[in-house]
Every structure is written in structure tokens, then in C-alpha cells.
Structure 1
Amino acid sequence: MTSFRDTARSATAAMRDVFPATPLQRNAHLSERFGADIWLKREDLSPVRSYKLRGAFNAMRKVLENEPEKGLFVCASAGNHAQGVAFMCRHFGVSGVIFMPVTTPQQKIHKTRTFGGDAIEVRLTGDYFDDTLASAKAFCADKGAHFLAPFDDPDVIEGQASVAVEIKEQLDDLPDRVILPVGGGGLSAGVRSYFEDGCDYTFVEPAGGASLAAALAAGKPIKLDKVDSFVDGAAVACIGEQPFARLADVDPADVRTAPEDRICVTMLEMLNVEGVVLEPAGALAVDVLVDVADQIRGKTVVCVTSGGNFDFERLPEVKERAQRYSGVKKYFILRLPQRPGALKEFLNILGPQDDIARFEYLKKSARNFGSVLIGIETREAGNFEVLFDKLDKVGFTYRDITDDAILSEFLI
């Protein structure tokens, strides 16, 4: 019987007719910072800037081998899976219909159409992904088309395992630890199934979409009640049934969660220091290094940077979230006396490194006072302790709302 490793190697060999292996690069900056030999598996440098074309290629290849008359493929995706499927539809010379939510950014729609060309049609359906998915499956049932799942498919898992095949060939050995981002589970299931017990693993999920951790706790895949969509490439409400079957015996201690705001810090660091553009999901494996620093010291570690499809229109949001997480930007509501000189008195309290990034009168809350929304940026987080101490001594009334999710959503 052919083993999973054999089929993964065969899939990898077949891929070489379509695209080259993505680079495995030693990162000196991270290696020095963490006292380890850290390598990045640069899936952000694939033809579609993510690993998703691997699974799409293998699943489509298998379908066409078994049903050569099958000429119509369908997927539902707002991002990397859509682009991978589009790329492969053009490669195999088959037709594809790609369902995307109406709310999908134009940049992603344009890239999908660019990769697929005349081979694909993009249909914008539904405000939410569940509606889009339902439309795609209904279309498949009506047209007899083949639905290409993003992760819950054995051929997709096998295709994603090509990442592990390449790591082994490029490193000429197994690493001590592989750090893998987890969304639906296809990549992590494929890599772990190929390496088996040959190395240690760290699986990392966004804090607002920890579906693997929830499944391990429940003993089966369960749907999360709420998902933070910021890490859109890995924010999945329920890990796939088939990936989980390959991950069900994972030690929960090897599953970590990364806070969304901290991921923003990592994205900016990789961009500013290394010139590497990563999307939020693509930064997960690098971001979690701080949590496993004691485990990796002196070890050879591979981080899979799973994608680099980042829309730079999101950069202001990423910078904002990174500053707030780092403690160098805060928002607060100040109760400002309505008298001459009060504003000047407040301005004189600010330190030489404190800059006003936002100043907005909200309302006159009393005859002699008004509420003001103020955003302050500074160079060092410790400057806020000094600022708030001065405000307290002068007698200003204020409320820090930086971490107040509800007020921040409405006011900031």
C-alpha cells in the first residue's frame, strides 16, 4: 500500500512542472534574537503568494486523473484559496467559478481574475462567507461541478504536505521544531503527517479563532461562537474534520494562540527590519517565537510564513493596533473644564515625546465641563505613567479607553 509520504513526494514532484519550490531561508535577525537557528519557509513567495495553490493543484490533478471529462471546478473563498484555484484552472485549462462575498476587497477580486484569466468567472454573492459557501455548493449540485474545499479534503492535505517534502530536501535533515499556522488545518495536518514524530511542533492560531484548541478540548471539531476576522487567512470557526483526524492526538500544550494586536507588531517588524511583507496569517509562526523562546534556544527551527497577500490599505490599521499593543499609543476621554486656559494647562502637561494624534470634543457634559476624546502617541510606553501622574496631581478627570473594546469601536 502506498504511504502518505510516497503520495506527498509524488505530488511534490508533479508540482515542479508548474512552479519551483519556495525558498527556505535562514533568518539572521530572528536567529540572533532568540538564540536559535531559525529558518523561514517562504510560502509568501509562491506564484500566488501563499501555499494554497499546492492543495488546489493536487486536488484538481487527482480529479482530472480519475474523471478526465470533469471540466468545471468551483470554490468559495475571499482570499488565498480563490487565487490558488484560479491559478490552477488556467494551468489545467479547465473552467472555474469562484464565489466570493460581496464585501471582498477589490484588490483580492482583481488578483483572482488576473491569475485565472479567461478560465474563471468570479461571482460575488452574500455579505457573509456562510452565504457565499451555500451559494457555491448549490451551484455545484445544479451543474454537476466539482467543489474544491480549502482544507477539508485528503487530496488538499496531501498537496499541502509538499511544504514538508521541500523542507526536508532543502535542510537536508529534519528540523528540531516546525512552527505551523493553523486555520482550517490542511497545512498543519499535511506537514505533521509527513514528518510524523521526527520533530517537535508548535501550532499557532489567532486568539480570535482558536478552532484547533477548541476541538482538542472537546475531542471533536466544534464551531466557535465568535471569530475575529482580522487574521483572515486563518480565522476559521471550525477546523476541518479530516485535518482534525490527523491532529487529534496533538498535545494541547503545543498549541498556542497569538493576540491579533501582537501579530501587527510582528508584521511591522518583519516589514521594517527584514523587508518581508506578510499578511496576518503569514506572520503567525514568527509571532509565536516569543512564547516558545525557552523551548527553541539552541535548536533548528522552521517557521512557515504561509502568505504575503497583504493589502497595504490596511497598513494604517496594522500600525494603529501595533502601537496600542506596544503601549506607545493610548486613547482617553478627558473631562476638560470650560474655562480660559484649561486647554493650555493640559498641553503644558504633555512631555517632549508626547504627540496628540486625535483631539475631538464629544459633548458638553455639564455647564462647566466638556468631554474630549484624545489620542496620544509617544516614543516609550513608560511616558504614559508620567503623563497620568501629572494629570492626577493637577486634578484632571480622565478615563483610559484604549483597551475598552466597546467604547473604542464607537469612538475611535
Structure 2
Amino acid sequence: MTNAAVDDARDAMREIFPETPLQLNEHLSRRFGAEVWLKREDLSPVRSYKIRGAFNFFRKALREGSRDRVFVCASAGNHAQGFAFVCRHFQVHGVVFMPVTTPQQKIDKTRMFGGPFITIRLIGDIFDQCYAAARAHVEEIGGAMVPPFDHADIIEGQATVASEVQAQLPDGVRPDLVIMPVGGGGLSSGMTGYLEPSLGASAFLMVEPAGAPSLKESLKAGRAITLSKVDNFVDGAAVARLGDLNFEALKHFSESQVMAVPENAICVTITEMLNIEGVVLEPAGALSLAALAALDPETVRGKTIVAVVSGGNFDFERLPDVKERAMRHAGLKKYYVLRLAQRPGALRDFLNLLGPEDDIARFEYLKKSARNFGSILIGIETGRPENFADLLARFDAAGLGYQDITDNEILANLVI
């Protein structure tokens, strides 16, 4: 990949969509005491940067005479939408393999973008399972696989994000830090390859969900590894194995340049950007901004930061879960199992322990655990995290038996 080739791909893309904006965000700039620029890939036609790699792959394959082949891809959603959009643009047929767990909104949008030129097949619970099924289908029909990240033309296409950023920054403005989300590594390998000669290797921070840290673990091991377990909450970036080409492009970076952000912290960013800025982000789209919030404020103060925001394919049926996770991460909501005496007035005595900002969000009688005591599941929301310390002090003073199960993943999943 050369910068000239990337610039050529960028110019060719203008036939299907204009460059996405690079916006100076006043809210984040004030909050962090920095100059924070957002590269709004959520404003592409498919609300993510994935359309870039797909377009670049197709334009080269068709130029080489592959129009009569069936194109195949596997995707948790965003690559599928870019693939479908490009299939329709070039009027070639494609088959999209998606995990069964893909949000319905992404499935519907993929079908809308591709129209009669695509067929959707739902297979497997995670990306890697449907990717294996897609590769088997390609072998069976002699089709053309369009990888989501592990291909030189895909990497070159994603690198056009960096080409646009460089052209869009005001004269004389040079980023001190470029923050990028990482799933399979297509965007990060492309952007670092384009910008590293001018910015240096230390200018990059790559961000993964804590439940799928494939790049971080691969850098630790010194080779591309396959994770044994993946949390697919951040479905656009939950990949068990980084692409081989992508790892080769990224293996010289320090493990410290990859941040694994907890899924619940990502939910805080989603709700903040929606409530304050009116920006709709899916979990993968919020990765870069969640990392910015997790950095030591002194390390970013006064710096010029470019954060890639991608994508915006959020299924609003997930909003209650996102809000729940965000409140728990912010320390504003906790769950307890209480051992409450079974006597008249016991519930009233408990309610009198609550503070003025405490509110009961869940109350459920679990079972009669003894003749004189019963177990209660209770969820409490409050206005400030420090209120819980005062509440627990009152619990202790009253001799109330309780267990905090908020962060007990196994128990919380069973009863919450």
C-alpha cells in the first residue's frame, strides 16, 4: 500500500459518496481541555467506514474481469451494509453471511442497501462462525470472497479515512493523537500505514472492547492468536482473531498503545453522546470516545486529537440495556439481595433507610429462606455514586443483612 494508491482510491470513492466530515467538537474539547476532532464515519451512506474497503475491493476485482462471479462476505453488520451498497452500485450479485445474533436493524438495512442484488444467510452466534460458513460457500460455488479486513485492497480502502483526515485538517494543524476502533484491524492497519511516516508510531491509540481484545492479546503473544471466548455486545468489533495481514501491519506497536474498554463504559459514552450531542452511536462507534474518557486527563490536555467515530447503526431496542449498563458503570445503580425480617413493619423500616436521592428501580421477593426471614432482590438508582456508601452505612447500623450482586456477572445475569 502506498499513499498515492490510497489517494487514488479516495478520489474514486467520490462516485458513490462525498467525504465524511472532520468536525471540531466543542463539547469534548471543553471537557478534556484539548482540541478534539471527530472523523464522522457514522455519516457515510452506511453509517460506518466499511463501505470504503468494500468499494475498493470491488472496483479492483471488476477491473480485472470478475463481474460474472458471485461475491460473498461475512459480517456482523457494518461490512455487510457496505458490501450490499457496493453490490447494488456495481449491479453484481452478492451473498451475505451474518451471525444469528446480529441486531435486526442491521439485517434490515443490509437488505435495503442491496435490494435484489444480495441474499442474506444467518449462520452462527459470532462472526468467526459465519465467516467459516462463508468461506465454505465460496469454495462450493467458486465465488469471490470479500473479506471484512484481512485483504490488501480492503486495508487500502479503509486507509482513505486517513487520507481525508490529512486533507481536512486546517493548515498547520497536526494531530498529537489519533484514536481508532479495532475489530479485525482493517481500519487501524490502513490508517497507521498512511499516517505513521508523518506522525510517528507513538501518535496512535487503538481501542478494542474488553470482551474481544484480539489485538492486545496478539501483541502480548507476539503473534496473531484466536481468543477462546468473545463478548459480542460490541458486535461491530467483537472479533476472535485479528487478520493476519493486519497483525503484520500492527505488530510493531506497543501493547500499551491498545486500550481495552469495558462494555459498560462504552454504554456511558453512547448515552452521553446521544443526550448531549444528539449523535447516535452503536457500541463499536463509541469505542474511540470511550477510550478518550478513560485516558489520564493530563495526558490529553492541550493536545490535538483526532478520534474516528464509526458506526451509527444503533438498534434502539437495545437502549434500555445500554442505559442499564451505563448507570451500573457510573455507579448510579446497584443491585442487592436483602435478608429481610418477615414481620409487620419490616419493609417500612427498610424504606426509611433510603436517602433523598435513592429510588427503587426493582423489587422482587425471591423465596422464604427461613421461618423468620425472606430474601428480596432490589435495584436502587441514585443521583450520585457516593450515596451508596452512606446507604450501606445505614444498612450496617440497622443490622440489615445484604449482598451486593451488581458486579457478580454470573449471579447478576441469572436474576437481573
- In structure 1, what is the Cα distance between the partners aligned to 2:385 and 2:87? 50
Contact 1:258 1:284 in 2 (8 A): yes
- Residue 225 of structure 2 corresponds to 222
Q: Partner of 2:210 in structure 1?
A: 207
TM-score, with structure 1 as normaliser: 0.97
Aligned partner of 1:151 in structure 2 is: 149
Corresponding position of 2:403: 399
Structure 2 partner of 1:368: 372
Q: Residue 352 of structure 2 aligns to a residue in which SS?
A: helix
Of 40, 43, 63, the match for 1:45: 43
Structure 1 residues 238 and 292, CA gap change in structure 2 (3 angstroms): farther
> Partners of 2:125 and 2:156 in 1: how far apart?
32
Which amino acid in the other structure matches residue 251 of structure 2?
Answer: A
Taking the aligned partners of 1:367 and 1:299, their CA distance within structure 2 comes to: 63
Structure 2 unpaired stretches of 5+: none
Structure 2 partner of 1:85: 83
Q: For residues 217-266 of structure 1, what are the alpha-carbon distances to aligned partners after superposition, in whole Å with 9 as ceiling and x for unaligned?
A: 11110011221111111111111100111111012222112111111111
Q: Write the distance in 2 (CA, Å) between the matches of 1:83 and 1:69.
A: 20
Partner-residue secondary structure (3-state), 1:123: strand
Please name the residue that 2:238 is paired with.
Answer: 235
Tell me if the contact between 1:64 and 1:70 (Cα under 8 Å) persists in the aligned partners.
no
Q: Counterpart of 2:191? A: 191
Detail structure 1 runs of 4+ shifted over 6 Å in the superposition. Answer: none
CA distance in 1, matches of 2:207, 2:62: 34
Aligned pair count? 410
Q: Is the 8 A contact 1:31 1:37 kept in 2?
A: yes
Superposition pairs of residues 2-401 of structure 1, within 5 angstroms: 4-172=2-170, 173-199=173-199, 200-290=203-293, 291-401=295-405
Residues 105 and 314 of structure 2 are in contact (CA less than 8 Å); yes or no, is this contact kept in structure 1?
Answer: no
**Which structure 1 residue ranges, 5 or more long, are not aligned?**
none
- Quick one: structure 1 residues 358 and 348, their matched pair in 2 at CA, closer, same or farther if it must change by over 3 Å? same
Q: CA deviation at 1:206?
A: 1.1
The DSSP-based 3-state class of the residue aligned with 1:349 is: coil
Range that drifts further, 282-291 or 170-179: 170-179
**Distance of 1:365 and 1:248 partners within structure 2:** 55
Instruction: Map Cα deviations across residues 128-156 of structure 1 (whole Å, 9 max, x no partner).
Output: 44442232112111211101100000100
Deviations 1:91-118 (A, max 9, x none): 0110011112333332221111100011
Tell me how large the CA RMSD over aligned residues is: 1.3
Amino acid at match of 1:22: T
Q: In structure 2, what residue type is equivalent to 1:215?
A: S
Q: Is the 8 A contact 1:76 1:136 kept in 2?
A: yes
Q: Measure the CA separation in 1 of the matches of 2:81 and 2:52.
A: 11
- CA deviation after TM superposition for structure 1 residue 68, in Å: 3.9
Note if contact 1:70-1:145 (Cα within 8 Å) is conserved in structure 2.
no
Contact 1:63 1:70 in 2 (8 A): no
Distance 1:29 1:101 in 2: 36
Kept in 1: contact 2:207–2:288 (CA 8 A):
yes
CA distance in structure 1 between the partners assigned to 2:324 and 2:194 by the alignment: 39
> Does the 8 A contact of 1:174 with 1:198 survive in 2?
no
In structure 2, distance between residues paired with 1:368 and 1:47? 62
Q: 1:292 to 1:65 in 2, by over 3 A?
A: farther
SS in 2 for 1:365: coil
Q: Is the 8 A contact 1:42 1:305 kept in 2?
A: yes
Question: In the superposition, relative to structure 1, how do residues 289 and 131 fare at CA in structure 2: closer, same or farther (>3 Å)?
Answer: closer
Identity over aligned pairs, percent? 60
Aligned residue for 1:209, secondary structure, equals coil
Which AA in structure 2 matches 1:132? C
Partner of 1:208: helix, strand, or coil? coil
Letter in 1 for 2:381: E
Indicate conservation of the 8 Å contact 2:126/2:232, yes or no.
no
**Any idea what SS the aligned residue of 1:53 has?**
helix
* Partner SS for 1:109: helix
Tell me by how many angstroms 1:163 deviates.
0.1
Kept in 2: contact 1:206–1:258 (CA 8 A): yes
Q: Give, in angstroms, the shift of residue 210 of structure 1.
A: 1.1
**Paired amino acid for 1:328:** L
TM-score normalised by the chain length of structure 2: 0.96
Whether the 8 Å CA contact 1:201–1:254 is kept in 2: the answer is yes
